[in-house]
Amino acid sequence: MGMFDDVICLHVLPGNPPARIQRARFQTKDFECLLDQYTITEAGAITIDLCGPAGNQTPTQALPFHGAFRFCHLDLALKKMLWWEYEATFTHEALEEIKAIEAGVPV
């Protein structure tokens, strides 16, 4: 399993997923995998809360990110496992798009 980072997406996800998915805490292995928390804001920026020693978090910082990363969530709410995976693309720190890779696929 290994370590990962968390992603919270405040921006609207494509495909009109259920509210529990829009509010979900996603995981990614596309960054440093140091248990940091990344947030995609409603305005389309990306921020980071670094996980410091002993789990102490540092203040939120804007992330100068250019590229794409994937984030996923395993939904267990309906007595069956559903996989949700998205890819967010940023150009010079601004969100270009979020696309669904797997949207509620049974596992």
Mean pLDDT by 10 residues, the chain (107 residues): 89 95 96 91 90 63 92 90 97 95 93
pTM: 0.88
Count Cα atoms within 13 angstroms, Cβ side, for 65.
Answer: 23
- Write down the pLDDT at residue 80: 86
- Write down the pLDDT at residue 34: 86
Distance CA 3, CA 82 (A): 21
- Write down the pLDDT at residue 52: 58
Number of structural domains, the chain?
1
> In sequence order, which ranges of the chain are alpha helices (DSSP H)?
19-22
Domain ranges, residue 20: 5-106
- Write down the pLDDT at residue 49: 83
Which CA distances in Å does 102 have to 2, 45, 46, 65? 22, 23, 22, 23
